[in-house]
Amino acid sequence: MMPTQSTAAPSGGPDAQRAGDDPRILRLSPRDNVAPLKTRARRGEAMLIAGQPFVLREDVAVGHKIAVVPIAAGTRILKYGAPIGSATADIEPGQRVHTHNMKSDYIPTYTHDRPSNVGAAR
């Protein structure tokens, strides 16, 4: 597999897509520090992220996401321009981001004022 990819977005459109991105990367918002992949990519393949080459350390399936900038442990993970959790380890660009290195920050407040009988078996 050739590591070099075209540096322009497939359509050439500006989008959230950056010049120097591998076309397999789908940037959903310019604010994001992660991006899902449009197609499966394999371990050992090189991938350009904002002009910088990175080698994938593991297989990444369609829709799974990689870091597009360095992410320090504890940092909020941004996708769609919104926080979807936070990093539990330092993550380098090109590294896969999933349940092994990030966690949910969601606290369900609805349980706070929940009457004790709601949700009981009926």
Partner 1 sequence: MMRGYVRADGRKGIRNTIVVAYLVECAHHVAREIALPFRHKGVHVIGFAGCYPNGYADAMMRKLCTHPNVGAVLLVSLGCESFNRAGLMQHVEASGRPAHLAVIQDIGGTKKTIAEGQSWIQWTLDELRQTPMADMAMSELVVGTICGGSDATSGLTANPAMGRAFDRLITEGAACIFEELGELIGCEAHMEERAVAPELAAEIRHSMDKAGRYYQAMGHASFAPGNAEGGLSTIEEKSMGAYAKSGAAPITGLLKPGDVPPTGGLYLMDMVPDGDPLYGFPNINDNAEIGELIACGSHVILFSTGRGSVVGSAISPVIKVCANADTYRRLADDMDVDAGRILEGRGTLDEVGAEIHSWILRVAEGEQTASESLGHQEFVLQYKTFEPIGPGCLPLVHRRVPVAPAATSSP
76 close to 53: Cβ distance less than 8 angstroms = no
Residue number, 52 or 98, with CB nearest to partner 1:
98
In the complex, least distance from residue 118 CB atom to partner 1, rounded to whole angstroms: 5
CA–CA separation, 92 and 66 (whole Å): 9
Q: For residue 11, count CB atoms less than 10 angstroms from its CB and return exposed for 0-12, middle for 13-18, buried for 19 or more.
A: exposed
Find the shortest distance in angstroms from Cβ 13 to partner 1: 4
Residues that bind partner 1 (CB under 8 A): 9-11, 13-17, 23, 26, 28, 36, 38-39, 61-65, 77, 79-85, 97-99, 102-106, 108-111, 113-114, 118-119
Which residue, 44 or 80, is less far from partner 1 as judged by CB?
A: 80
User: Toward partner 1, which CB reaches closer, 2 or 108?
Assistant: 108
Check if the beta carbon of residue 71 is closer than 8 Å to that of residue 77.
yes
Token pair in block for residue 71? 């992410």
